Structure 1
Amino acid sequence: MLLEDVSDGQNVKDNLLLQQYPSSLSLMLYQDAFEVVSPLGPGKTKHKILAVYMTLGEILPHNRSSVDAMQIVSLCREADFKTFGHNKVFASLIADLKDLEETGFLAADGNMIKAVLIAFLGGNLGSHCVGGFTENFSCSKHFCRYCLVDREGFIKNPLALCPKRTADNYKDSIEILSTTDQSVVNGIKCNSVFNSLKDFHVCSGLPPCLGHAHDLYEGVVSGDLSLYIDTLVQVEKHFTYNELNRAVAKFKHIGSDALSKPCEVKTGQRLAGSAAQNQCLLRLLPLYIGEKIKDPVDNEVWQLCLKLRDIVELVCAPQISHNDIAYLKIMIEEYIYLRHSMFPDKALKPKHHYLPHYPELILHFGPLIHLWTLRFKSKHSYFKQCSRKVHNFVNLCKTLAERHQLLQSYLLAGQTFPPTIQIIGEANDYRHHLYNSATQDAVTKANVSNHNMLDVSAVVYKGTKYVKGHVVVVDHTDESTEFGKIVVILVNDSKLYFVLELHQSVRLIDLGLYCLHCPTDRSLCVNVDSLMDHYPIPLYNMADLFVVSLHHSVSS
């Protein structure tokens, strides 16, 4: 069984309102603060805004990731939020959510539709603020919002199992807070106003921050990968920082990799790149300097780096099986143990503690990539641009909200979502007789009508860009993976087909890459929806070998 979206997680399946009223909507909120002026200028923090956005779990994932589909719920100056507190700032939002839970709204067909909050996304700091948890991760005794681990126990045994946070023990902590003079009990400093909702509780409704500078790419990956690179350079002398940076600069990045080219890696410092840049560096590191690693199979630091890479591939998979979740749990436990034992002088951080929670969180929320926070952060750019153009900071939140709603009115006057297929490259009529015999046979066997069919050089399908020359996964088992190189892209009657040049592959365990064999004699014409994995992967040349680095794990 595969988990493919948030609706497959136990969080949605166990929701009482959604069970009782299947037509109800699943609300997903996101909150974050952002600067509208230069963070280095004199006006920093003065106009900082706390934004709350909303999307629906019923929207397909590729449409949900579009910023135009994200609706604004509220804008508030962060200074006002700190002055008046949660209860007053979120009072109207809580009232609306309760009304949607209990009464609902009248739909166009005359039926009453209810809605329920299933997840409140945000960074670690923001999520702890919303949940009433302590926001001091460096000093507080209890720093986890998922379990009752304490700092001393985590330092002694990073893999120690601790009781999960539940609505009951959360309530017990609140009662102790109200009857004693303690300011924090079990990492809880106040009762969250969102716990007043009937079918939501912060102990089960705050997903991990997968994207931004908190858990993964700008957290564990940024800190640990820089540590491994520093060890390979300074201690084991496999290469130098200049060689690594020169290799990155000269490497011919293709496709989406070219948009997230890693930044310079500096001596003894954390990776300074964005989440996308750190992801690219981790994925392509074997291509940059893999050939310089002496005895890569026996090198413990290099193998630890590849293990981190495998974990990231599994965590970021858009669909994942229960077997892969069990495997992810084992991988994370091995990784934490090795990281702790190999670098005892480099203490593990609270971000490392969140990793062992990921398998259970995937079962609870569904694939975590569908709760990716970076897409919500992209929504900030509209308000930042708007604030710089209006040149007026009087009642700025009202101005931005009105401008945004006018834009939404304009967008909703047309198509709610972008078309499924968007041809962005050169398009020509498909003339069957002009193609080689392999392509002709593949199209004929696929029983695809040639009427009004176009051969295009590039296309965007459900938000993903495909170009000729990229490869896709055709078949995947524990023993082998078969790739298909896109040689022809065909569009016919709102359907997208690829003619693929099939390649068997061999996994290079010392590099974590897949090496493609010479093409087989077979070509295949497939509908894009029938592919095992839809993501297009750039094909790279390494020492006269064609290799690919997976963007995420593929579940069979």
Structure 2
Amino acid sequence: MPSWTCRICLAYVTLTLSLLLTHMRSRHGSDPDFFVRCVIDDCDKSFNKYNSFYRHMTRQHPESLKVGPRLNDSNYGEEIGGSEHGGHDVENDNSNLDMDMDDNYAIHSDQEAGLNDLDELNAEENVSDFSDESDNSSNSDIQFDPDRRTREAARFICAVKERNVLTQAAVDDIVQATDSYVGGTIYQLRKKVQRRLIEHGIDPSVTDDIFEEDMSPFEGLRTAYLQEQAIKAHLPVVEPNEVFLGQRLVFRRRHNKLEEVLHQVTFQYVPIIESIEQLLNGKGIFDMISDGPALSGDGYLRDICDGSLFQTHPVFYQDTNALQIILYYDDVEIDNPLGSYAGKHKVGMFYYSLGNIPHQYRSKLEAIRLVAIVNTIDIKEFQFEPILKDLVEDLKTLSEGYLFNVNGEEVMLRGAVVAISADTNACLAVAGFKEGVGFANMKCRHCECPNERMQTNFHETYFALNSQRKHLAHLREIDRARTDALKKSLKTLYGINRRSILLDIPHFDISQMLPSDIMHVMLEGVIPYECREVLRQMIFVDSLFTLRELNTKITTFKFGQEERKNKFGRIPDSVFQQEKKLKMTADQTWIFIRHVSIILSSLNVDPENEYFVFLNGLCEITSLVFASVTSNEKIVYLRGLISRHLEEFKRLFPDNNILPKQHYLIHIPSMMLLFGPLIRIWCMRFEGKHSYFKKVARQQNHVNIPKSLAQRNKRKEASESIQENHPIFSSKLTFGPCKQLAGEHADFAQERLCSFLDIHVEAEDIYSANWVQVLGTMYNKNHDGIVAFGTCEDNNFLPEFGQIEHIWIVGGERVCLALKVLNTEGFVEAYQGYEVSEPDMPTGLAVADISKLLDHNIYYKYRIHHKFIVPIKYDLSSVIDAWNVRNE
């Protein structure tokens, strides 16, 4: 069958001219001696650059790009392209061609072809003859939808580019390679179908329309512009709004001279109502939200809906299905923070998440969505009011109720902000408070706290708490000040810079809905500060051990499999000599505080040592603050524990000041009553969202980085909304290599499943997996991982721990763990963990359904003086109590 041949490499043959142009661009477009002559319709133009040749073809011969194979073309075999320094003449002899294509769809000479290839050529000649006799045959029954092809191609391009954070050049290469692969595959399929039709005496031309239209699936999508237009036309894109802020004079280099020009200052706002509608249209999202909040009903606090704020809020009190909007703000350095451009391209990121999404899915990064991006320098110049104006207007609309279009139906939903999560400085800035508490007389946004009282009072009742009414009164007093000096004095007294636009958000209480973030307060504030002082005392004052000995223990400590990726490293001398913080990430600090008592014990530090006891108290506070389930009783206990801990700090370190973040600890119990477990609204997962934008930023120019990031994000969120399985649910269940159980292994699994879970299943339906990931938690066998799978009534309802021996997949989706049960001896205060031991007598393996574990974290046991300790991630006492209540 005649086709287009590349005369530059003499190897590539394709059925359409458009594919040939793609090949010439990718393979020969950058050749320094590129030369091609146009021979279409007796055109004698020649070109030394591919771009010129391409423009000529698209402008002068567009009809040739739309047609299929060159059947009965008298010019077939004439020169299409070649090198002006010596092209080769190739005779027009079809018998010398092998139409079987290799990976590059190249054509080889007949010296490499066999008899089968000659038979295929003969069949092709018959097909051509048959086609000539059937030109008038009707193909009206075959319908082709070009929009379908374009729609699917646009979805493919968008998903591949944004899920993998690819550059446009990489996408173009994928499009070209995929186009060639699909075209070649369809061509081979077409040959086979036509031969089979001829064998049965059927006119093969009836298949022309079927194959012809799909030969090039990315036709019309070969440039970034065309791809963008197709994505807008076929995907539910939420277009970011470029909002004008003002103008400033900047210097620009023109003609090797610096000139002062007027620059338009803008930022990117993603309409939150449209974004929520796009999210609700994702498969399974609306059904999950419409089920309503999962209220505990047993007195325990598990999520936002169990807090007093939700239960008394004017919107949620009337409509429990109203959208619970959690906003987040942070300034992000998108370039290398240690590089020469550090600070130059810092941007303010605004995200939101819906508290209606169950917390096990809300932690997925896909559940966190972009609201706005603005250059940090513009925030400092124009403040937050013009930046948040459109968001506030949308929130006002949501408060009254908005008619969403969800899966083709209209649904009326209300919504309100429940909290704004941010680090301390970001919270102060967006709320209009003094950003550096050192410049304010009042050091806390939650209460009236001068520095002197902060150093001596450690209970919330000792301070007058702020309220919305009191804050508005302070603002009025500042506005009525008759002199600038008085106004400045009042601002310093109350710690207020300006009136915040947050006050215009319906039902937003600025004194309650800006909670202190436990990640920044604990993991990046209190824990590094207090641990440094304790270690300094033990090493340099009491000489209990040396820094070298401590670092040796740290580097040789055998962390559990899942803890190794975030393990902390050596502690440098500069931490103590130059008053620097412990150089750890938040994850590393969390692991450090859980293991520091074990490491100190290995250095023979007496557990009765008062500094060891103080550090143990910090560990206990941490476990209670990060609890996933809590109760009013635990919150009351935590309040007293914090007060005693701060008093002990001042006793042990009288020369050290109580820092503002230490003071914020006294307000955390009240926040837990308002919002439930604070881990449900912390900043950790929001900050994880930054990684995507940092990756994208490395691929973009920095002329208008907010726009570049917003444009990439809009395509990412659009591609997520059309997936059959929304990424929020993507890692609900993933398992590694599996094998079917047989023989005695299958019999054993059947017996255990029946005994413990009353599961009756055929042996062929049981598979063994090396690992399984459920909702982001990885369970491995043979890695010494331990799970808390229940409680023991005969042992004061202590948690039962089991070491994972086998992972069984039952019926294709139910995951069961075969566990070697450990004896729980009790809770050890000194190590904030449970002591476990091996059973005296073999007890066999217990089996637990992974969805019904007491706690879904993976733990590990560590030897301490002939004991095995399992340090816990957070307090399990409320988890155990709630478990027992539900299983009564």
Judge same fold: TM > 0.5, yes or no. Answer: yes
Q: Partners in 2 of 1:282 and 1:130 — Cα distance?
A: 31
1:514 aligned onto 2:834:
yes
Specify the alignment match of 1:498 in structure 2.
817
Equivalent position amino acid for 1:157 in 2: N
Deviates more, 1:306-315 or 1:463-472: 463-472
Q: Is the 8 A contact 2:791 2:797 kept in 1?
A: no
Specify the alignment match of 1:277 in structure 2.
588
Deviates more, 1:123-132 or 1:511-520: 511-520
Q: Partners in 2 of 1:443 and 1:216 — Cα distance?
A: 46
Q: Partners in 2 of 1:510 and 1:432 — Cα distance?
A: 47
Q: How high is the TM-score relative to the length of structure 2?
A: 0.60
Q: Partners in 1 of 2:796 and 2:453 — Cα distance?
A: 37
Q: Partners in 2 of 1:6 and 1:432 — Cα distance?
A: 49
Deviates more, 1:45-54 or 1:460-469: 460-469
Task: Tell me the secondary structure at the aligned position of residue 418 of structure 2.
Answer: strand
Q: Is the 8 A contact 1:439 1:523 kept in 2?
A: no
Structure 1, unaligned runs of 5 or more: none
Q: Partners in 2 of 1:439 and 1:163 — Cα distance?
A: 64
Specify the alignment match of 1:88 in structure 2.
386
Task: Tell me the secondary structure at the aligned position of residue 804 of structure 2.
Answer: strand
1:471 aligned onto 2:786:
yes
Q: Partners in 2 of 1:243 and 1:365 — Cα distance?
A: 43
Deviations 1:252-302 (A, max 9, x none): 2223310111122134142111111111111111332313244322x1100
Structure 2 matches for 1:193-212, cutoff 5 A?
Answer: 193-211=501-519
Deviations 1:349-381 (A, max 9, x none): 011101111111111111011112121111111
1:552 to partner: Cα distance: 0.9
Deviations 1:475-525 (A, max 9, x none): 278774431222222223433222222222233344333221213626432
Structure 2 matches for 1:53-72, cutoff 5 A?
Answer: 53-72=351-370
Specify which of 440, 459, 463 is matched with residue 772 of structure 2: 459
Structure 2 matches for 1:113-512, cutoff 5 A?
Answer: 113-159=413-459, 161-180=462-481, 181-183=486-488, 184=491, 185-211=493-519, 214-267=520-573, 268=576, 269-297=580-608, 299-390=609-700, 392-414=701-723, 415-416=725-726, 417-419=728-730, 421-431=732-742, 433-434=744-745, 440-441=751-752, 443-451=754-762, 452-468=765-781, 469-473=784-788, 474-475=790-791, 480-493=798-811, 494-506=813-825, 507-512=827-832
Equivalent position amino acid for 1:164 in 2: L
Deviates more, 1:495-504 or 1:235-244: 495-504
Equivalent position amino acid for 1:434 in 2: H
Equivalent position amino acid for 1:505 in 2: T
Q: Is the 8 A contact 1:107 1:113 kept in 2?
A: no
Q: Number of paired residues? A: 552
1:551 to partner: Cα distance: 0.9
Q: Is the 8 A contact 1:432 1:440 kept in 2?
A: no
Q: Is the 8 A contact 2:635 2:669 kept in 1?
A: yes
Task: Tell me the secondary structure at the aligned position of residue 484 of structure 1.
Answer: strand
Q: Is the 8 A contact 1:439 1:499 kept in 2?
A: no
Alpha carbons of structure 1 residues 440 and 487: separation in structure 2 relative to 1, 3 Å: farther
Q: Partners in 2 of 1:172 and 1:246 — Cα distance?
A: 57
More relative contact order in 1 or in 2 (CA 8 Å, sep 6+)? 1
Alpha carbons of structure 1 residues 62 and 342: separation in structure 2 relative to 1, 3 Å: same
1:453 to partner: Cα distance: 2.9
Specify which of 287, 312, 319 is matched with residue 14 of structure 1: 312
Structure possessing the higher radius of gyration over alpha carbons: 2
Q: Give the root-mean-square deviation of aligned CA atoms.
A: 2.1
Q: Is the 8 A contact 1:498 1:525 kept in 2?
A: yes
Deviates more, 1:537-546 or 1:188-197: 537-546
Deviations 1:419-439 (A, max 9, x none): 454334221224483169698
1:553 to partner: Cα distance: 0.8
Q: How high is the TM-score relative to the length of structure 1?
A: 0.94
1:179 to partner: Cα distance: 0.6
Q: Partners in 1 of 2:747 and 2:353 — Cα distance?
A: 47
Specify which of 385, 399, 407 is matched with residue 101 of structure 1: 399
Q: Is the 8 A contact 1:55 1:64 kept in 2?
A: yes
Equivalent position amino acid for 1:514 in 2: Y
Task: Tell me the secondary structure at the aligned position of residue 486 of structure 1.
Answer: strand
Equivalent position amino acid for 2:807 in 1: I
Q: Partners in 1 of 2:743 and 2:390 — Cα distance?
A: 62
Task: Tell me the secondary structure at the aligned position of residue 859 of structure 2.
Answer: coil
Q: Partners in 2 of 1:54 and 1:423 — Cα distance?
A: 27
Alpha carbons of structure 1 residues 305 and 154: separation in structure 2 relative to 1, 3 Å: same
1:84 to partner: Cα distance: 1.2
Q: Is the 8 A contact 1:134 1:143 kept in 2?
A: no
Deviates more, 1:392-401 or 1:510-519: 510-519
Q: Partners in 1 of 2:350 and 2:403 — Cα distance?
A: 21
Task: Tell me the secondary structure at the aligned position of residue 270 of structure 1.
Answer: coil
Deviates more, 1:363-372 or 1:426-435: 426-435
Alpha carbons of structure 1 residues 438 and 424: separation in structure 2 relative to 1, 3 Å: closer
1:36 aligned onto 2:334:
yes
Q: Partners in 2 of 1:388 and 1:396 — Cα distance?
A: 10
Q: Partners in 1 of 2:844 and 2:313 — Cα distance?
A: 48
Give identity over the alignment, percent: 25
Structure 2, unaligned runs of 5 or more: 1-298, 882-888
Specify the alignment match of 2:861 in structure 1.
539
Specify the alignment match of 2:125 in structure 1.
none
1:131 to partner: Cα distance: 1.5
Task: Tell me the secondary structure at the aligned position of residue 254 of structure 1.
Answer: coil
Q: Partners in 2 of 1:375 and 1:545 — Cα distance?
A: 36
Deviates more, 1:146-155 or 1:38-47: 38-47
1:307 to partner: Cα distance: 0.7
Q: Is the 8 A contact 2:332 2:346 kept in 1?
A: yes
Deviations 1:160-192 (A, max 9, x none): 621211111111111111111423152222222
Deviates more, 1:343-352 or 1:535-544: 535-544
Specify the alignment match of 1:74 in structure 2.
372
